[in-house]
Amino acid sequence: MPKESNEANQSNEANPANPASATCAGKHPAPPCTLVIFGAGGDLTKRLLMPSLYNLSADKLLDDGMEIIGVNHGERETSDWRDELTQSLRGFAADKAATFHTSQLNEEAWNWVVGRLEYFPGEFEEDETFARLKARLAKAKSGNIMFYLAVGARFFQPIIEHLGAAGLLEEKDGNFRRLVIEKPFGTDLASAKALNACILKFADESQVYRIDHFLGKDTVQSILAVRFANAMFEPIWRREYIDNVQITAAETIGVEGRGKFYEQTGAFRDMLPNHLFQLLGMVAMEPPNSFDAESVRDRKAEVFDAIRPLTANDVVLGQYEAGPAGPGYKEEPGVAKDSRTETYAAARVYVENWRWAGVPFYLRTGKRLTERRTEISVQLKAVPFLLFRDTPVDALTPNVFTLRIDPAHGTTFDFNVKVPGPVMQIGKVRSAFNYADFFAERANVGYETLLYDCMLGDATLFQRADSIETAWAAVDRVLHPDSPLAVHGYAAGSAGPEQSDKLLAQDGRTWRALTDTRKKD
């Protein structure tokens, strides 16, 4: 399809000097607020929060009254913190492999952010830190405060308890106080309940924004647009027409020096009950009455509540061994030589409601796989073969609609056509749409929308306490089995353990190939 036929693309070309102008049309700046970042010296702050604030500044979506206070242990000057973040941002911008890569930084936009940065030294578990912080916030330009916990999970409860004890989460005089928390939201059902109980002891659910960065990706948010803004999809989005749904989050990298951390988590806890369940929720949810935050979150909560609890027979775990892509997991720094931590997890999930009864959702994620790919593939049921029984057709290719989330953004649809010639011969073809062909590419790390929505008070893309707990409840039996689950080896650089293929084979199905040998669209 030629680019000039697309209205959205034409609007992007209206202001070539500012590719963001069309994207941000109709949006207004967030209200003034003070953003307090716990973990100011951490990787999350450098790699994701600061690039996101830069992009929001470039798009004129932040109020001039904004202040950014970074809390971290260790004394240092604000000027040193500013210099460190500036160097990091420039490094990410120049790195073509980085999520945040741009040919040219908008110096005015970054200087706007830098001028609002203030370093605040303090220990996360000491009363004195929060007493000083309270005194500092009393002098803030705005009474609106956002507390962002960009810290390890072990600090969540201590920080929340200290904020609550200091009265820093109390909302007064029409000003908001919001608490932003990164995953993991617990490591099983019991710990998730304990964390939620701690949070809700000091804050109302309406003040809490649990971030899943997957939901900040434009292509993830577009799942709702594809489903509910196009009449061709919704009528067939149900068990009568869909055979199975496959959700894949495959990585080619290993644990990248984070072996000690990964040993405590594993692929299943890290990805299944949060990232992949969130994608499942968006695919499987009923149409909301509106895009009001609670309407959308209610519909997703219904999906999680309808998931049949997983058993050991629904799950395959794997761990990469030495292979074409490099050494095995046990050779990674910080990993025990007898480790049974899984780096691959696959699961068969059933949503037991009227729309999806009997339709399996196959989820898989893994490290050191053959290709980096995050996608959702919806396979339609096969048509009757009788019409073609007297023709040279061995099989019909399944009709599969795929939403490509990462690294390529777009959709594909596989279907059958007649091969030109005098004989009725069926050929497999693919129709594709690529975002880059129609919309201006931007240096976007995925947190921009999430931060902006936090400031606006729009909780649509954030998880609620009940959804967190029902998701963990669905997998808790697997996390605490009567006997340890087997962890199967797979070669680094392969598609995963062969037992994962058997999980689908027993249902008469196969995984979508991770490596596409067909001609690229």
What is the CB neighbour count within 10 angstroms for residue 491? 17
**pTM for this model (two decimals):** 0.89
Name the domain count of the chain: 2
Residues 6+ positions from 314 with CB-CB distance below 8 Å: 347, 348, 349, 478, 503
In a domain, 7, yes or no: no
Parent domain of 381: 215-505
Residue 520 has pLDDT above 70, yes or no: no
Same domain, 165 and 222: no
Residue 519 has pLDDT above 70, yes or no: no
What is the sign, positive or negative, of the torsion defined by CA atoms of 188, 189, 191, 192? Answer: positive
In a domain, 207, yes or no: no
**CATH code for position 120:** 3.40.50.720
pLDDT: is 82 or 482 the higher one?
A: 82
Same domain, 263 and 357: yes
Per the CB < 8 A criterion, the answer to whether 515 and 371 are in contact is yes
Model confidence at 392, pLDDT cuts 50, 70, 90, reads low
Sort strands 373-380 and 360-366 into parallel, antiparallel or unpaired: unpaired
- Reply yes or no on whether 275 is catalytic: yes
At 14-40, the pLDDT tens digits run 333 333 333 455 578 999 999 999 999
Same domain, 233 and 314: yes
In a domain, 198, yes or no: no
pLDDT, residue 13, reads 35
**CATH code for position 335:** 3.30.360.10
What one-character DSSP code corresponds to residue 3?
Answer: G
Residue 269 has pLDDT above 60, yes or no: yes
Cα gap 164→127, rounded to integer Å: 11
Same domain, 330 and 277: yes
In angstroms, what CA-CA distances link 187 with 49, 266, 401? 24, 10, 33
Per the CB < 8 A criterion, the answer to whether 161 and 198 are in contact is yes
Residue 277 has pLDDT above 90, yes or no: yes
In a domain, 488, yes or no: yes
In angstroms, what CA-CA distances link 88 with 91, 93, 104, 114, 381? 5, 9, 15, 13, 49
In a domain, 2, yes or no: no
Residue 403 bridge partners (DSSP): 376, 411
Same domain, 164 and 255: no
Same domain, 354 and 492: yes
Residues 6+ positions from 298 with CB-CB distance below 8 Å: 288
Cα 410 off chain centre by: 16
Same domain, 237 and 149: no
Question: CA Rg, the chain, in Å?
Answer: 24
Same domain, 173 and 40: yes
> Which tokens belong to 208?
């809490």
Mean per-residue pLDDT for 261-289? Answer: 94
Q: Could you say which of 28, 101, 162, 275 is catalytic?
A: 275
In a domain, 424, yes or no: yes
Give the domain-ending residue among 162, 182, 202.
Answer: 182
Residue of 29, 20, 24 whose CA lies nearest to 456:
29
Same domain, 219 and 166: no
Residue 409 has pLDDT above 60, yes or no: yes
Residue of 197, 465, 476 whose CA lies nearest to 309:
476
Mean per-residue pLDDT for 475-482? Answer: 94
> Which tokens belong to 32?
């003034």
- Residue given tokens 């998701």 in the structure block: 471
Residue 258 has pLDDT above 90, yes or no: no
Same domain, 175 and 228: no
In a domain, 43, yes or no: yes
In a domain, 305, yes or no: yes
Mean per-residue pLDDT for 304-325? Answer: 97
pLDDT: is 446 or 91 the higher one?
A: 91
